[in-house]
Chain A
Amino acid sequence: MKDFAVFWGCTIQARFPFLEKSTRMVLDAFKLPHRDVDGFTCCPEKSLVNNVDHAAFVLTAARNVALVDGMGLDIVSPCTGCVSNLATVKGELKANPVERTAVNGLLKAAGKEFKGNAKLTHLVPFFHDSVGVFAIKQRIKKDFSGMRLAVHYGCHMMRPSHALRNDDPLDPKKFDNLLAALGAVSLQHPTKLQCCGQGLDRVDQHDNALHMARVKLKELKSLGADGLVLCCPSCFLQFDNNQFLMEKEGEKFGIPIIYFTELLGLALGYTAEELGMNSHRVDVEPFLEKWKRSPLVAGSGTIDEALNAVVAF
């Protein structure tokens, strides 16, 4: 496997360092060749930067990609927005040699060149494709059999598909497959692919953001979900923080929000505390309690067993 730089992005490091912690723990657990790289900036965030200055958006992303191009590394990120923005610009520059030449003219002053060789992957498709469900199953100490979990992909994990090309943009499967590998039932629900709505909080429309969170959380409550699994800091902010704010106002949903790396970390045998899950704002105890009570089912010990247990997809 090629070495890769982890692109942490601004939000995880500024607001959710515990998500960095659990990500590092699962990357280390599988001995994946990751490293931190000096010199990254914001990816940049599309709604704040692209709306103001498209050329700045392109230049910033191109510089980040050029940085790893120069080191012969790929990028893996636990943030969907970062991957999507970087990949969008990479696609635009690969398709437009005139724009690429202009951007490289500017990057040259910093001793960099955008080539677009680096592969840009989100952590979920990365675990699915490069680690694989068999390797994951073999490492499971206790799976999530009997747990009813909902997956929220997050729009930018697979869209825009022309830039990311990692799953079906209208009917993605990889996150569901990983959940199945971890033994959980992935609940099919109408708003599964609906945008979380956190973007509305960034344009001074907090009530609309809460409304979008409410629609999804109500649905999950009525379905009796034990938790919502996601892997995007923006979606996490929307469903953990905004759910907490609504609970403070007396609207109780009680849906614990679990980051993919936390779910995987728990299955590998790390404790919730080690993974930093006590930093969530919505209580994760109901989820952990139910899991503790469920019977112990370890992962399949051999490849043959793993092959027999694999879900058809």
Chain B
Amino acid sequence: MLGAALNIKLLEMCSKCGACYSICPSCVNLPGYDPREVIQDIVAGDWEKWLLSKSIWQCLECHYCLEMCYQHYGFENAMTAMRAVATKRGIFPVQVKRGWEMFAKTGKLGEPAMPARKKMNLPAPAASGGEELKKIYALLKEKRRGQG
């Protein structure tokens, strides 16, 4: 499941490098956060235990590791893949679940604040494309079901 989303050969090198470690904002500021441990376990095929860990949600997706990486890969990719597996199994931080549900329902993460707009004399907000997006997303899901 994880192997399909990741390049394990690159991660093997990644687990021995750490060029990004000292620049990763979470590594620097959050005690106990070290994606190299997660990556070593991914390479060893022993990653299930990380799915329930809050560590995999501490990657801020700032892309700094990607820029520092000699392979332009970065441990961000490993963390994204872990989170994708976790969410498929229904393991979400509450806010991610809430955010996803709002997105799925409206195509947005929040609606324009109308009273404040009026007070500030802002023009009416442009129409949302949420309904159209929902229709093509339904087509995508249908296509997936067809591919089984």
Contact = CB atoms under 8 A, between A and B. Distances in A.
- A and B physically associate: yes
Contact of A109 (B25, B63, B136): B136
A227 B88 CA distance: 43
Interface string A130-169: 0000000000000000000000000110011110000001
B95 A203 contact: yes
Contacts of B61: 46-47, 199
A60 B62 contact: no
Interface residues of B, number: 54
B100 A48 contact: yes
Interface stretch (A205-213, A252-260, A281-289): A205-213
Interface in B42-65: 54, 57-58, 60-64
Interface string A178-211: 0000000000000001110101111111001001
Interface residues of A, number: 65
B122 A21 contact: yes
A8 to B, nearest CB: 8
B126 A40 contact: yes
B30 A52 contact: no
B3 interface: no
Contacts of A64: 129
A128 interface: no
A24 B80 contact: no
A13 B117 CA distance: 9
Contacts of A202: 93, 95-96, 99
B6 interface: no
Among B30, B67, B125, B135, the most chain A Cβ lie within 10 Å of the Cβ of B67
Contacts of B111: 13-14
